C-alpha cells in the first residue's frame, strides 16, 4: 500500500517514535522504501561558522550525526532506506520533498505543543499535514 514512505526526522525522541512507526509499516509492505529526510535550518551555528573547512551550503557532519540513531534503528529492522540531508525551513522543505518525490505517506513526530505554542510558533507537523499531497501520519 505505502511503497514510498517519507520519514521526517531530526534525531529527537519524537522523531524516533515516528521512525519506529515508519519501519513497522515498511517491514509489512513488500518493496517499501523509506526516505529519511533531515532538514537543517539555514542559520549556521557558531561552530559551523568557526569551522575553517566548511564550504558554503555543506551540511556539517555534527549536524548529520543527529539522525544516526534513526539510521541504526532502520538498519536493525532490515528495511530499505535512504537518507537525505537538506537545508531549509522544516515545514515547507518536508512538504516540497514529499510532493516532488510523490511519496505515498509522510511519517513525522509531534512535539505536543499546546494551543498557545502552536499559535505563536506554528507546528511543523501541522504545516506538513495541511500541505502535503499524500497522507500524513503524525506520531505523538
| DSSP β-ladder status, 33-40 and 105-109 | unpaired
Please name the CATH architecture into which domain 4-139 falls.
Answer: 3-Layer(aba) Sandwich (3.40)
Q: Do 107 and 8 touch, CB atoms closer than 8 A? A: yes
Helix (H) or strand (E) holding 72: helix 68-76
Residue 74 buriedness (CB in 10 A; 0-12 / 13-18 / 19+): buried
pLDDT tens, 4-23?
Answer: 999 999 999 999 999 999 99
pLDDT tens, 20-40?
Answer: 999 999 999 999 999 999 999
pLDDT tens, 99-139?
Answer: 999 999 999 998 755 565 555 445 888 899 999 999 999 99
Residues 6+ apart with CB under 8 A from 99: 132, 133, 134
* Mean pLDDT, the chain, whole residue set: 86
Cα separation of 42 and 53, whole Å?
A: 18
pLDDT value of residue 62: 84
Q: Is pLDDT of 58 > 60? A: yes
Amino acid at each position: 500500500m505505502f511503497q514510498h514512505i517519507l520519514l521526517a526526522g531530526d534525531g529527537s525522541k519524537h522523531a524516533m517514535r515516528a521512525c519506529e512507526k515508519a519501519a513497522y509499516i515498511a517491514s509489512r509492505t513488500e518493496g517499501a522504501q523509506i526516505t529519511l529526510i533531515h532538514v537543517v535550518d539555514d542559520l549556521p551555528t557558531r561552530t559551523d561558522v568557526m569551522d575553517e573547512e566548511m564550504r558554503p551550503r555543506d551540511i556539517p557532519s555534527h549536524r548529520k550525526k543527529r539522525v544516526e540513531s534513526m539510521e541504526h534503528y532502520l538498519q536493525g529492522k532490515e528495511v530499505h532506506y535512504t537518507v537525505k540531508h537538506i537545508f531549509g525551513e522544516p515545514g515547507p522543505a518536508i512538504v516540497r520533498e514529499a510532493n516532488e518525490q510523490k511519496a505515498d505517506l509522510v511519517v513525522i513526530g509531534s512535539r505536543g505543543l499546546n494551543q498557545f505554542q502552536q499559535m505563536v510558533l506554528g507546528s511543523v507537523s501541522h504545516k506538513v499535514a495541511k500541505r502535503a499531497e499524500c497522507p500524513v501520519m503524525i506520531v505523538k
